[in-house]
């Protein structure tokens, strides 16, 4: 059975100075997180700048990630959107060899009702050859998936988990209280991982685990006191990862750690000098 408990890393997509894919940087990154004990890899989520990669580039990044995955960690692939028919077409044309599950974001921009969200995900789950992880991130999509919506979808046999990034702990508690025994609640907010663990979450799909996978192993796997103290180490650094939008700050941090360069694609631009200085001062 697929085990997606613990630390999932929402991988960045390293880029060269000409904004082409830096495959050596990607290999460095996968080796870095794998050797530190990451439990699974998330390829081409939001942190991977999937919105500005072409279809061909996405295929190349996925194939390379599978090839570099020498530790044979489970691979979750970002496959979602706000056009249900287009998502279904992408499912039809994707080679799922080496993909263990998909992470599918709540439809953004068109602001569907809760009934529309349920219909969208049921269509995806009915057609996906691998299990589906829901992804609620209203800070990006505008629309929040309610706890009732999540619990309704959790009954679908091909929907196995929810990555919850609403920041609403009461909503997360309602999901945890009502979800099936084999359904996974996954933190989508690095700083709330310990709190969500305390209410029944199984782990995190993390941004900062790109840089600090060992620390996130402690956050996910150790007892609550050790876990919270590990989170506290990141309290000042974490907001800088989002100040100029994810993954701008993270890529600069990875550059400082010697893992990959910090190039991002427009409309994102590289970190300002002010942000760089503060990240450098706070890096662990």
Give the pLDDT confidence of 136-195 residue by residue, as tens digits: 999 999 999 999 999 999 999 999 999 999 999 999 999 999 999 999 999 999 999 999
Domains in the chain: how many in total?
A: 1
Q: What is the pLDDT of residue 257?
A: 98
Question: Mutual orientation of helices 273-282 and 248-256 as an angle, nearest 10°?
Answer: 50
| CA gap 59, 155 in Å, rounded | 31
Q: What is the pLDDT of residue 2?
A: 86
pLDDT tens for residues 232-257?
999 999 999 999 999 999 999 999 99
Residue 214 lies in a domain: yes
Residue 268 lies in a domain: no
What range does the domain containing 72 cover?
6-235
| CA gap 135, 165 in Å, rounded | 8
18: pLDDT strictly greater than 80: yes
pLDDT tens for residues 21-67?
999 999 999 999 999 999 999 999 999 999 999 999 999 999 999 99
Question: Mutual orientation of helices 23-35 and 55-68 as an angle, nearest 10°?
Answer: 40
pLDDT tens for residues 96-113?
999 999 999 999 999 999
Residue 213 lies in a domain: yes
Residue 274 lies in a domain: no
Q: Which residues are catalytic?
A: 135, 163
Instruction: For residue 44, give the CATH number of its domain.
Output: 3.20.20.70
pLDDT tens for residues 78-99?
999 999 999 999 999 999 999 9
Residue 159 lies in a domain: yes
| CA gap 284, 277 in Å, rounded | 14
Q: What are phi and psi of 138, to 5 degrees?
A: -60, -20
1: pLDDT strictly greater than 80: no
Annotated binding-site members for pyruvate = 47, 205
204: pLDDT strictly greater than 80: yes
pLDDT tens for residues 107-147?
999 999 999 999 999 999 999 999 999 999 999 999 999 99
Residue 205 lies in a domain: yes
Residue 243 lies in a domain: no
pLDDT tens for residues 208-231?
999 999 999 999 999 999 999 999
Residue 106 lies in a domain: yes
């Amino acid at each position: 059975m697929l085990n997606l408990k613990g630390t999932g890393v929402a991988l960045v997509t390293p880029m060269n100075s000409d904004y082409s894919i830096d495959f050596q940087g990607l290999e460095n990154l996968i080796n870095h997180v794998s050797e530190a004990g990451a439990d699974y890899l998330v390829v081409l989520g939001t942190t991977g700048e999937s919105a500005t990669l072409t279809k061909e580039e996405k295929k190349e990044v996925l194939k390379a990630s599978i090839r570099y995955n020498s530790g044979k960690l489970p691979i979750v692939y970002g496959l979602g959107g706000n056009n249900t028919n287009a998502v279904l077409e992408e499912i039809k044309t994707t080679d799922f060899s080496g993909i263990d599950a998909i992470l599918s974001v709540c439809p953004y921009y068109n602001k569907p009702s809760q009934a529309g969200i349920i219909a969208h995900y049921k269509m995806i789950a009915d057609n996906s050859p691998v299990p589906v992880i829901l992804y609620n991130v209203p800070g990006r999509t505008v629309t929040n998936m309610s706890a009732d919506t999540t619990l309704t979808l959790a009954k679908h046999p091909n929907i196995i988990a929810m990555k919850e990034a609403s920041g609403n702990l009461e909503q997360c508690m309602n999901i945890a209280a009502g979800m099936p025994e084999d359904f996974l609640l996954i933190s989508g907010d690095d700083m709330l991982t310990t709190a969500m663990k305390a209410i029944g979450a199984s782990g995190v799909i993390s941004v900062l685990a790109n840089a600090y996978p060992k620390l996130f192993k402690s956050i996910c796997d150790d007892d609550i006191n050790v876990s919270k103290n590990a989170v506290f180490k990141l309290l000042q650094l974490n907001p800088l990862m989002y100040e100029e939008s994810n993954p701008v700050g993270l890529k600069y941090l990875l550059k400082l750690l010697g893992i990959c360069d910090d190039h991002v694609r427009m409309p994102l631009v590289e970190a300002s000098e002010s942000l760089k200085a503060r990240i450098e001062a706070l890096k662990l």
